[in-house]
Amino acid sequence: MLLHWNKYAQRLGEKGFKIMESLLLINDPKLNGTVITLELPNEGSKLDFESQINGLLGHLKGHLHNHDITIEVIVNETVETKRNLNDQDRYNRLLEINPNIELLRSTFGLDLPG
């Protein structure tokens, strides 16, 4: 299940749906029978996620050959993301998205705080 979840998130990211991709990857969903539970950090992210849930459900049901799957979203304001990024990690991610960031950094002589 997790493999198909992550593949779907990656495909969304490649299509430019970065917010939904990050919501899917914010932490690992838990599977209990046919119920997938995902914890999100706030109501806003829950609303964003639920507005796009049908595509994910269709993908999972088809690839897992199980049409009884449901997704339950729990808002947990204290949820910690599984990725604690430092400045270098953030910079590397931005560089992946747009290689011109390096040109900007070198042109203006910018350094990463650290």
Q: Tell whether 98 is covered by a domain.
A: yes
Q: Tell whether 7 is covered by a domain.
A: yes
pLDDT band at 67 (very low <50, low <70, confident <90, very high): very high
| Domain shared by 45 and 64, yes or no | yes
| Domain shared by 85 and 66, yes or no | no
Q: Tell whether 52 is covered by a domain.
A: yes
Number of structural domains the chain divides into: 2
Q: Tell whether 37 is covered by a domain.
A: yes
pLDDT value at position 61?
94
CA 113 to chain centre: 26
- CB-based contact 32:74 (threshold 8 Å): no
| Domain shared by 48 and 5, yes or no | yes
Rg, the chain, Cα only: 17
Helix or strand or coil: residue 46? helix
Tokens standing for residue 13: 């990211």
| Domain shared by 12 and 53, yes or no | yes
Q: Kindly report the pTM of this predicted structure.
A: 0.65
CA 45 to chain centre: 11
Burial class of residue 44, CB neighbours in 10 A (0-12, 13-18, 19+): exposed
| Domain shared by 39 and 8, yes or no | yes
Pairing of strands 35-40, 30-32: antiparallel
Structural domain boundaries enclosing 90 = 81-109
| Domain shared by 65 and 94, yes or no | no
pLDDT band at 53 (very low <50, low <70, confident <90, very high): very high
Reply yes or no on whether the pLDDT at 30 is more than 80.
yes
Top pLDDT among 72 and 89 is at 72
Q: Tell whether 71 is covered by a domain.
A: yes
